[in-house]
Amino acid sequence: MKRSMWFYNCITWIAKWVLRLLFRTKTYGLENENVDGPVVYAINHMSNWDPVIAACETKKPINFMAKKELFSIPVLKWLLKILGAFPIDRTGNDLATLKMTVAALKDGGRICLFPQGTRCPDVEPSTTEVKGGTALLVRHSKATVVPIGIYTKNYRVKIFRKVYVTVGKPMTYDELGFSGAREDYERITQKIFDEICKLCDEMKEKANAR
């Protein structure tokens, strides 16, 4: 997906230092990003800051989905395209969204997805439900999944409350164990999310030990 890498790098560099000032972000496991081919970053979701944190605390450029209404605003449309975002219709054709996302991956994109499907603040990620869309996308794109856990106290992002980010080990398409059954989607998305929860638990233990 075409974008201005100079502009993307500039914006994320500035935002990264803003995040470190506001949330004292600490990131681990960046070596796990060194994966070739299409990549899906699967991340737990607790606030509107999560996509920004993901973009700023990882080394590789990430593509994001954005609701199509935002692309009707001329200046914002220009900015979103430069940053590598693409429009989706969240109330319309799911097949069209799937095709567009798969195309973005096959074009060399790295997509950020939230298996929970919505923000879940104030609760342990392991107690929340996940949607099957992550595995559906992986199934059609043959992407490698890179799980990312974001942890902060009580899973509530607040100014000056430290945020920990851990990039987990890649999960290849073959390792995920697709069988071709429709039940794969929920099972494999849950398998991915279990890895994310483990990363969050590890960060919670480290934070509490300090």
How do residues 82-102 score in pLDDT, each as one tens digit? 767 777 776 655 677 778 788
**Is 101 or 128 the better-scoring residue by pLDDT?**
128
**Distance, CA of 18 to CA of 55 (rounded, Å):** 13
pLDDT the model gives residue 70: 75
Of the chain, the percentage scoring pLDDT greater than 70 comes to 94
Please give the structure tokens belonging to residue 4.
């201005």
Average pLDDT of the chain to the nearest whole number: 88
Least confident span in 5-14, 31-40, 50-59, 152-161: 5-14
Q: Is pLDDT at 149 greater than 80 in this prediction? A: yes
Per the model's pLDDT, the better-predicted residue between 66 and 69 turns out to be 69
Give how many domains the chain has, as a whole number: 1
User: What would the two tokens of residue 156 be?
Assistant: 């509530």
Contact at 8 Å (CB) between 73 and 81?
no
> In sequence order, what DSSP letters do the residues of 121-139 get, joined into one string?
TTS-GGGS---THHHHHHH
Query: What is the domain range of residue 136?
Result: 5-209
Note the pLDDT of residue 147. 98
pLDDT (mean) for 158-162: 94
Give the model's confidence band at 2: pLDDT under 50 very low, under 70 low, under 90 confident, else very high. low
Return the biggest CA–CA distance within the chain.
Answer: 49
Q: Which tokens is 109 given?
A: 């994109």
Mean pLDDT computed over 117-133? 93
- Residue 192's nearest CA partner among 43, 29, 28 is 43
Sheet (strand 164-167) strand order: 26-28, 164-167, 144-151, 39-43, 110-113
Q: How many residues in the chain? A: 210
Residues 183, 113: Cα–Cα separation, whole Å: 20
- pLDDT category at 72 given cuts 50, 70, 90 is confident
Name 195's Cβ contacts closer than 8 Å, sequence gap at least 6. 147, 168, 171
**For position 155, which CATH number holds?**
3.40.1130.10
Higher pLDDT, 62 or 89: 62
* Least reliable range by pLDDT among 5-19, 63-77, 126-140, 188-202: 63-77
CB of 29 within 8 A of CB of 146? no
